[in-house]
Amino acid sequence: MTHTLFIAGDSTAALKGAAEKPMTGWGEYLQAHFGSSIEVDNRAINGRSTKTFLAEGRLAHIAHDMQAGDYMFIQFGHNDGKIDDPARYTNPDLDYRSNLIQFIECARGRGGVPVLLSSVSRRRFTVDGHLDPLAVGPYPEAMKQVAAQTQTPLLDIFEASQQLYNTLGEHESKKLFIHLPDKTHPNYPNGIIDDTHFSDVGARQIADLVANAIHQSNAPSLSRLRQHLKGDFL
């Protein structure tokens, strides 16, 4: 029997069009970690916070298609923190948490399994060469607290991605992101330095981190999903 794994999230996970390449969302490579019994349906959208995802009815669309036994992977935070944009901003101690609970209750109400993924980290090194523990503000910690409060499985992708960047180092970790000089790609004729969005290489590695986190999770509600993983894991 086939089950669907829905991704609800922002541009770090979203499918990128031809005009955005080589920028790539990690959700584009998650399917490669599963056999045909799990179908990844990537509903992540550029620029969305929990607030706008809900306001646009995108969670309702997932709920319409969700069947018992399906999974909902929930990863936000980057746009929730845009305090200068009231349409997207959410207070990490208030509406961000209540919005996440809406996602969780929606999935459970459909007989599905909600899974929280803490925000994948921006590549942000401090002047002394250390990774900024607040690279996505307080949102990863807020999500952890919601996971504990609601007894929802958590995949700590913020911590895993920070470990990856730290292992690679400040210079080599640039290869995971969109760093292009002038006139090297027609989509970015003026060049681009973007430490939030991933290159193809970076998206693949973040998808690897997500698959590893599933493999390492001891959450009972993920036991069946773990059985559908393929490949080698750390």
pLDDT digits (tens, 9 = 90+) for 116-160: 999 999 999 998 889 999 999 999 999 999 999 999 999 999 999
pLDDT at 233: 63
CATH number attached to the domain at 3-227: 3.40.50.1110
Model confidence pLDDT, tens digit, residues 183-195: 999 999 999 999 9
Q: Identify the band that residue 29 occupies on the pLDDT scale cut at 50, 70 and 90.
A: very high
Write b or e for each residue in 103-128: b if 16 or more Cβ atoms lie within 10 A of its Cβ, otherwise e.
bbebbeebebbbbbbbbbbbbbbeee
pTM above 0.95, yes or no: yes
